[in-house]
Amino acid sequence: MHPWPVTLLWSCAFVFTVIEITNTTFGAMTLSFKQMWLPPLLFAGFLIVRRFSLTLALLPHLNTGMFLTLAWALLSAAWSPLPGYTVSQVVAITGVSMIAIAFSVVSWRPGRFEDVLTTTVTTVLVLSLVYAVVFPAWGVHSESDFSLAGSWRGITYQKNSLGQVATVGLILWTYRMLTRRNSWQACLLGIALSVFMVVKSRSNTALVAATLSCMMMFAILRPALLLSGAARQLIFVSLALVIPVVGFLAVATDLLQPIGEFFGKGGTFTGRADIWREVFVEIAKHPIMGIGFSAFWGGEYSLAGNIIRKLGWAVPGAHNGYLDIINELGLIGITFFAIFLALHARALGQLSRFDRPRFALLAGLFLYLVLVDFSESGWFRPITQTHLIGMYCSIEVSRLLLQRRFALASHREAQRP
């Protein structure tokens, strides 16, 4: 099968996550979601059935933590105040993995992921640049709120969405320069475009996360570090320990508020600390099992209505993906998600043994997504850019490991007398 249909499928899925906020807030219950997402989801299902044997071979390599988290989310419908809605949201978010699996089993080749993602992200950035310049009434925020006024959103639904697209573009173009995938002139142009759009969207927090990711890729690739297995494990263990500690300090204490002030976010990280305090109160009401997947946020008349009225604006989420998971799926759910992250880190360690360039890219994206989820709800939210890229990165690692197994089996077969 020609690769362009599934390439277009994945690109459309990415674009859908950044142009329509109702998909991420109200998900599968909205008419716009059904109109936009049902065709690509059905097409993904068709492709998976068509390549069913390869899909079955891929399944053992997929991240068990992903299945555990999705299964627990579905089970939470049993105690969710909105059981039908919870089920529909699980179905919607599962579709993201279906699209990623379809992309990985139809006309797949090493490197197609970064090529397609780079092309899609750069296209969104170029269109956003043109849109903001030509149609500033729609491409630039006109709200009076200091965190939004004058910031660019381009063709995306909000400045934070454009900022995340731009920071992903920065990571991708930096990777392509480090690995010489393109000429240095093209890479510098891509980096300049990405940085410019980050600045115009005023997404300073995402820029810091992307900078750390680029530094990680540089350390791995220039010069290539000869890391032992123990050194790789030490790096991942350090990240696993440092990131949660820093996140806890940012969310639950005032120690990191000067950092927020330095980046123009105010002492409360643009009001995020106020949201976090209210969410902690809700978590205390159902700490073990959570309130139910996607059953909390949903407008003034939802369970989050008290928080929305108290804060005085339409809060769509906790602005912290980990707090949202704990609130909706409890400590059990966040444990399953931690298993997902740990298994993904282990798979990256396995990948580093035979494909250092893609290990650098996928590790850089992994670090970025984990960090940015402290300020924006992304992981296991229906359906966000963070979750889409995160799920694809996970499945891409699984596909690379499967391909390695195929290559080793072929080599052993060739060595037989």
Q: Which residue has the tokens 């410019």?
A: 196
Q: Which residues contact 39 (CB under 8 A, 6 or more apart)?
A: none
Check: pTM over 0.75? Answer yes or no.
yes
- 283: cis peptide before it, omega within 30°? no
> Of 321-330, 340-349, 367-376, which gets the smallest average pLDDT?
367-376
pLDDT tens digits for range 275-289: 777 788 888 888 898
140 φ/ψ angles, rounded to the nearest 5 degrees: -125, 135
CA distance 168 to 370: 13
Angle at Cα 357 formed by Cα 119 and Cα 396, nearest 5°? 60
- Tens-place pLDDT, residues 172-205: 999 999 998 888 899 999 999 999 988 888 777 7
Query: Is residue 389 within 8 Å of residue 365, measured between CB atoms?
Result: yes
How many other β-carbons are positioned within 10 Å of the β-carbon of residue 224?
Answer: 11
Give the per-residue pLDDT at 300: 53
pLDDT tens column, 67-85: 999 999 999 999 988 888 8
pLDDT in tens, 345-402: 888 888 888 888 999 899 889 888 888 887 777 787 767 788 888 888 898 999 898 8
What's the pLDDT score for residue 296? 77
Average of per-residue pLDDT values in the chain: 78
Residues 148-153, mean pLDDT to the nearest whole number: 75
CA separation for the pair 104, 58 (Å, rounded): 9
Distance CA 1, CA 298 (A): 41
Q: How confident is the model at residue 224 (pLDDT cuts 50, 70, 90)?
A: low
3-state helix, strand, coil in the chain (%, to 5): 75, 0, 25
Tally of CB atoms within 10 A around 272: 21
CA angle 134, 136, 141 (to 5 degrees): 155
- Contact, 202 vs 151, CB < 8 A? yes
pLDDT in tens, 31-56: 556 667 777 778 888 888 888 888 88
